Amino acid sequence: MDWNGHIAIVTGAASGIGAGIAECFAEAGAEVVVADINERLGAQVTADLRARYGKGLFVKTDVSQAADCRRLMDETLAAYGRIDTLVNNAGVNFVKPTLEMDEADWDRVVDVDMKGTFLCSRYALEAMVARRSGNIINIASVHTVATLPAAAPYAASKGGVDMMTRSMAIEFAPYGIRVNAVSPGLTDTQIWADLQEAAEDAEQARQHWMDNIPLGRVQAPREVGNVVLFLASEQSSYVTGANIFTDGGMTAQLINRERFASKPVEGKTPGD
Ligand SMILES: NC(=O)c1ccc[n+]([C@@H]2O[C@H](COP(=O)([O-])OP(=O)(O)OC[C@H]3O[C@@H](n4cnc5c(N)ncnc54)[C@H](O)[C@@H]3O)[C@@H](O)[C@H]2O)c1
């Protein structure tokens, strides 16, 4: 696919997965709008993209604020005249026992991860409907199908994003607009660094995660970016309302068979 002249907005692109997605677009030849609440890192990532690929525009954006999301679309349209792809990637992870959580904890996660996805989509869709073409890709998570204790707002948000994806896919299919989700598993970003640092024994924690990932490794942000590019391209022209997992097989696995160490029993499935 020729990405020249393709306009892609990536929210939360100042670090981690978003930065990886932005790099994949710029490297392919697309124009990339880096939208992030973190001005310092956002400007840094954008300067780097400009130096290496001659692409990149930074728009400081808090995706939980409707006015910011509208301004992000306005500034993109002023600079490039249209929006081909919106990647809703900005997100915050949060783990806290439910009984210690207050309303502000809930709002902080849901406002960014779920409401932010809605608000950016809502304002981008105005421009996409007018042109009768466009593409929205929501970065969800393995938490759309399985989750962990003390992750209620995060799991609720990601589950919500999955269903929002399907609803918008149906609503905007008549306009030639596709809406899909990508659900990453463990990805090498600050979240993974924090998880290891928070563990009493970082090596044991790392091994525990690897035991639960059939491919046995953490993925690079660009591996998510490659799936996003596929969904933004003509190669996926009949794909809409989908949730594509890039999780090394994590959600396919019922239990780690090696650890289970049971002998096969004919006619019986372990776990039944
Ligand atoms: N890292 C993983 O293992 C993993 C796994 C599954 C899903 N995800 C999802 O991928 C996405 C990116 O996560 P990451 O691991 O790269 O995290 P990250 O913390 O490295 O990046 C998140 C980015 O979002 C930005 N952001 C936060 N709040 C914002 C707001 N209100 N408005 C605009 N930008 C905001 C941050 O400044 C940051 O640049 C998130 O939606 C996350 O839930 C991550």
pLDDT for position 260: 60
Give tens-digit pLDDT for 35-57.
Answer: 999 999 999 999 999 999 999 99
Nearest CA to ligand 1 atom 37: 38
Give tens-digit pLDDT for 240-265.
Answer: 999 999 999 999 998 886 766 556 66
Asked, for residue 196, whether it belongs to a domain, the answer is no
| H helical segments located in the chain | 16-28, 39-53, 66-80, 103-110, 116-131, 152-172, 190-198, 202-211, 221-232, 257-260
Q: Is the sign of the CA dihedral 213, 218, 224, 227 positive or negative?
A: negative
184 C-beta closer than 6 A to ligand 1: yes
Give tens-digit pLDDT for 129-179.
Answer: 999 999 999 999 999 999 999 999 999 999 999 999 999 999 999 999 999
Determine the distance separating the centroid of ligand 1 and the alpha carbon of 117, expressed in angstroms.
Answer: 12
Asked, for residue 209, whether it belongs to a domain, the answer is no
Confidence of residue 272 (pLDDT cuts 50, 70, 90): low
Determine the distance separating the centroid of ligand 1 and the alpha carbon of 88, expressed in angstroms.
Answer: 10
Identify any residues that bridge with 134 across adjacent strands, giving them in sequence order: 177
Distance CA 104, CA 183 (A): 26
For residue 10, what is the enclosing H or E element? strand 7-11
45 C-beta closer than 6 A to ligand 1: no
Coil vs helix vs strand at 249: coil
What CATH number corresponds to the domain at position 158?
3.40.50.720
Nearest-atom index, ligand 1, CA of 88 = 41
Question: What is the tally of structural domains in the chain?
Answer: 1
165 C-beta closer than 6 A to ligand 1: no
Asked, for residue 210, whether it belongs to a domain, the answer is no
- The pick from 137, 187, 251 for probing ligand 1's pocket by mutation, whose C-beta has the most ligand atoms within 8 angstroms, reads 187
Asked, for residue 108, whether it belongs to a domain, the answer is yes
Among 80, 85, 90, 74, residue whose Cα is nearest residue 28: 85
Asked, for residue 213, whether it belongs to a domain, the answer is no
Asked, for residue 177, whether it belongs to a domain, the answer is yes
14 C-beta closer than 6 A to ligand 1: yes
Catalytic residues, by residue number, are 154
76 C-beta closer than 6 A to ligand 1: no
Cα angle for residues 62, 63, 69 (degrees, 5° grid): 95
Domain containing residue 19: 7-188+219-260
pTM for the model stands at 0.96
Determine the distance separating the centroid of ligand 1 and the alpha carbon of 101, expressed in angstroms.
Answer: 21
Q: Which residue has the tokens 């035991």?
A: 211
Asked, for residue 136, whether it belongs to a domain, the answer is yes
Asked, for residue 149, whether it belongs to a domain, the answer is yes
